Structure 1
Amino acid sequence: MDDLHSTRAAPGMDGPLAEALDCLDHGVAVYDPAGALSLANAPFAEAVATPAALAEALAALLGAAEGDGLIQTLAQAQDRQKTGLIAELPLPEQGELTLKLHARADGGATLVLAATPAPSVETRDARALFADAIDNVNFGVALIDEAQRLVFANKKFRAHGDPRDELLIAGRSMRQIHRDAIRTGLFPLPEGMAEEHLLDAMDQLIDTNARDFPVPNNHGSALLGNVYDTELGGRVLTMQDVTEDRQAEQLIVGAMSRLPVGVAIEDASGQFTHCNEAFAAPYGLSAAELIAMPPEARMAYLSPQLVSVDNDARAEDLGAAFRAAILQQRETLKPFEVRFKSGQQFLVERGRVENGGCVVVVTDITALKDAETRNLAAVTDAVQTLDIAVVLFDKDLRITFGNEKWAELFSTREPRIRVGDHVLEATRKQAAAGHFVLSEGRTVDEFIAYWRDTVLTYRKDVHVAFSDGRHVVASCHKTRLDGFLVSFIDITEQRAIEAELARQREITHQKERLSALGELLAGVAHELNNPLSIIVGYAQMLEGQIADPVLQRRVDRIAEAANRSAKIVEMFLDMAQERPFEKTPCSVNEIVASALDVAESGLSAETRVEVFLAEDLAPILGDPDSLIQVIYNILINAQHAVQPVPGPGHLRLRSRPDAEGGAALIEISDNGPGIPEALRNRVFEPLFSTKEVGEGTGMGLALCHRIVTSHGGSITITDSDLGGAQFEIRLPIAPPGV
């Protein structure tokens, strides 16, 4: 092969066939299976003038010396049962020629030198502009045809994949380029892997349009490759140096591994790409094992270990609650807490990162929660010992806490109010059961509406009366967590003390008034006795001495008025001197009957009188005459009260034992206009009267009150079911053996 022209026609290839080959526009050379040149036509010999030029062209085409490279290439083509074009190389220095290598079925090869049409100036300029643009992008780009032959590679691709500029030659197959990269050490062959296996793997990556696969290299760079189809049947290869990104990632991963809190990074699908050991610890797995788990498997693995999710242990399916909390957090980034059967409790937080993923931070708050629990227990213990009832409502008005004092008020009677109840619904049930004293005319619905406004507007010092006689003052406050705190101060004893003080003040006031009145009445009675004695005496002397009936009636009226005045003076003296009564065992029913006989002449014939006397009523200890006077005065007052009422008057007398059996009760009711509540205590004051001027002295009921209280009893006024007033006289029964 020293003289290419001397071998242009091999034996059997001369004559007309050789002349025909010489007439072709393309140069043709034929090699046998051993790689020896068998024939070369004239155009081939002219284009490749010397064996050295041919060897250089084959080396550029095949990436090795002519003989060995060609023989190996042909053998590989035969092994793969491949024929036809297997390599191609443009030769611009030879006048836009392209050298093409075809494999034959017999193991030989044919070289063809084909002229490439020269592109137009515009095309060359456009190609140059495009090539310049591609050359200057910051990542590697290469174009291969449908046979996986290299068409073009930019500077960045060559810098990463062929730093010595020996392999990436247009027209060469990517397999051959990869083979030479392995042989030159540019592609380190993994230990234990055969060369052909690595080449097959690289072919597979190209055939399947692989994404983000590592590209082997010997300069320590982290290279990522990607393959994309083109519309013309070829493919685009990209190669990007992510060394700095990987270094930064390693720094982050290294920092994550040393963090005391659990940190993980998940992609948009929820798959973990990184996590540290602190994150994996609650799972009882290593970080690598946890990263390998799919999201659903990870959640299913963790669910049986949960006790509560977001502080709610009532969920029927904690696994579903955990999954829902994670999905919601990916949208809202709102933190939530999880507690495990081991007793550990964690705060789970998420923050968004690029590509739709999240960074997940898990903080062990077990110690913090234990401290909170201890602090809460101390506070709860302190609150439990308060004499003040305290209850907490959440923002939905559900009861979250109530101390023992609160439980005494609201949880000792059915229906009970308990923690977890809606306060308004539970209070409505107790109000309907009659546990509260409602204001006159107020319905249960109005009472509940009032209490709702009381809580929501944070009212203070609101009085609440219970049907069992207890009284409290409620004050409402807003909490920092949008809840409500309501305190109840029991003022039952305070009100009793205040009532007793008021009663004592009233007694003292009455005594002072009576004392002053007594001094006045004693003087008045002394001054009136003498003239009244003269009037009474002369009136008696005139009786029977005057014949004129008219004058006689006038004298009688004078005598009656004088006698009445004398009795008033005597009554004044009794009140002023507070004369004691002589008490003996007596019958209440007989006292009532006697008083009714005395008052009968003063009652209207149109007034209906009903009498209900209890049989076997225990005797009382008292002065019958003074008690008859009490009932008589009340009956006469009742008669006066019913006179202006349309229709017949109605009076009712009733005697009965009280519920406890320690006193006898006398009730006197009428259908008159009644006595206003504000005046019910004042009517027992001396000189106070509700009657018109000249119709009453204001001493009758005051005297009645004095007589009853002197007997150790009481007299009160309430509304009567007849429509008017009802006087209730309570007198203690006589002790046994008296």
Structure 2
Amino acid sequence: MARKQSESGTTEDFLKLSSQEKAQIVLTGLGSPEQIPSLCDRYRISRLQYDDLADTFIQCGARGLDELGATQGMLGQHSDVTTQEFLSDAIEALSEGVALFDDDDRLVLLNRKQREHLDPENAVLRIGGDLFEMTRDLTAAGSMIAPEGTSAEQYAELLTEAVRSCAQDVNLVASGGRYLLGSARKTPLGGRLITIEDVTDRHNTEERARSMFVDALESLREGVALWDDDERLVFFNQKYLKFVDPEAEYHHIGQPMTEIFATMAEQGALQKPERIPAQEFTHSLLNLVRNSAQDVEVQFSQGVLKCSASVTPLGGRLVTLEDITETRKAELAQREADLLLHKIVDAFPANFLVSRLRDGHIIYRSPTSQKMFGNIESLNDLVRNPKVRDSFLAGLLPNGAVDDFHTRVRTADGSVRDLMTSARVTDHKGEDVIVSSTRDITDQLGIEAELERQHEIAHQNEKLSAMGGLLAGVAHELNNPLSIVVGYALMLQETISDTKQKRQIERIGQAAERCARIIKAFLAMARKRPTHIQACSLNDIVTAALDVSGFGLKSSGAEVVLEFDQDLPLTGLDPDQMIQVLINLISNAEHALEPLGAEGVLRICTNHHPDTGQVGLDVRDNGAGIASDVLARIFEPFFTTKDIGMGTGIGLAFCNRIISAHDGGLTVQSGLGEGACFSILLPIRECPPSDAPGIEHPIVNVGKFRVLVVDDEEGVTSLIRDILEHQGYNVHVCNSAPAALDILSGTTFDAILSDIKMPGLDGEGFLKEIQNINPLLVDQMAFVTGDAMSPQVAEFLESTSVEHVEKPLTPTDLTELVHRLCQAKGRVSND
């Protein structure tokens, strides 16, 4: 550690310095001014002494060494040493060539070594000469070799600029194959100090080492490329070029990696995936190199290469390529062979497993088995019951085979399935394995059970159809007399003024209408579809049903709670059929609540489901509830839990059929001790609201309208005549279709009413005859029938545009029908 110098230094310390040391101090200070304080401290001289020494060094060079004979400044302190000797000795003793230029680029000083490097003939370099001119002349004379394609003047400009910018370690080539290394530094007084070192031996040694390195890289089976820290190409071996660029189209020393990769992708040398844009693909390759990715497979036009990248100690990137095309082809061929085998095995639709005999471990499972059983590891996971496994092995081991072994297992989705298994024992890699094939027979067993159930349902439907036929016959026979009872009862109500008699007749009419509703319910049960659809509210349906069937609940003391949705929208329904459904449900609830007396509660709720476009109705009781085994069969025809004579088993079946005919659903929720809740959901159908019952359309001066009535039942024709004549119509009746045709041949009528089922010529034949006689009469014709549920009659009514009304008749239905027929003819006027 040097001691801290005094402000002025000491002459004694300065005089002890040799000429070589003084020259080194000056040259170091001129090249690196920031080192001057440490130089002064190290050699124990003052800054003033250093400045005097440097000034003398520069001034002496400027004047010429031979012209300076007296000492300057500090040299007065050691008069025995001349400045010329000091400077000459110091500069010439240096191993490097030294040249000093002033701030005007004029040569101030150079030593012999510098002249040997650049101007051995002493023909160009001179004190006071211009840097650019001398450099140009040296290059033109061949003392300095310019790069190929660069003129002497261009090269002189480059070197002059390098000196001015104080460039370091500039490589120069001199005559005789010599290699020089030059550096320039700025002096404190604004000049430039140039040092040049002959590095020929070092260069040759490096070239030999480089050649050996390149030769070693060329002998590698991998392709190698080196990029500097600016991602410019520095080196590549021929193997690399063969792999990626056989024609050497894209790779040039100094070219940026980005441009090379982009060009290769654009020209197809790199196989870009179709779904990836070119720019994105190029960017991904750059990231592989920048992130030092290892063993990345890239598809080139020449084949498949495995690429690896690493960072060099100097910050560059080394990329190696290995051709794995043949390896991948061999692997692909093997994979294809394996894939073919797997495809053959996997395509086989059988559900089979291969498992070790000793522990049940599964070696292979087919896709079908995988789907059914999941990722089970052992047969023990599949068949968990030890007794079943023992039974399976007992059948398998004696002969190495077992067929159609029935088991029940739980599959991957949690369901329990019935399986039929066949298995064989074989050898695999020296140990016994079980190859088992399994058939799922769950669906088969289910089909068999369903067939049995359907057989039972068909049997029940046969009974239901037989009952429907019986009901249809009974209804047809009852329709005519009921029409007479209902019609005359309603007529009498209008004509009798005695209050007591009128009330009695009203009760007769109500009883007759109830009989009519019962018959219509029978017909609806057999029809399978609603008949008279009109806009209705479920609230009104419930109210009407309670009016008919609520007496039994009230007499038992049960509470009836109604929870109506007052904003319930109207929907298209057959009101008579829906009332009958509600009567049946209320009747069942009454039977369930009877043992509870006053503690019984029947709750009827209506609700709207706008999200599904439905309206709903719940009938809930707090009775004893329904057992699960009964619940499963509750909608079957003729199934009942009531005592003999107390129930027929057709009520809920009837309800279910009616709701289904309305495209709705009827469900039940119950359990023992939980009561029962029957829920109805119906779609909201837009339907024009029907006229309120009992409203008659006024017809003025109807006496001029003639009506022909045709029916084989004299009582029916008499009733219709009485009703229409009471309204003022001119009515003519006959009891056969042929007789009616005779009348029509000579008389015109404004409306024609005909029965369908008549002996001889029926209603269908009567219509055809009318079409032949006068097609215009068809618009004035309507049918009055009590057999609309007959398939033949229903089909006939659907095929024709002729209106019809069903028996039992009411005066209102009849007069409205005749009024419409007269309107169709265009003769009715409200004037």
| Superposition TM-score tier, normalisation by shorter sequence | 0.3 to 0.5
Q: Which has the higher contact order (CA 8 A, sep 6+)?
A: 2
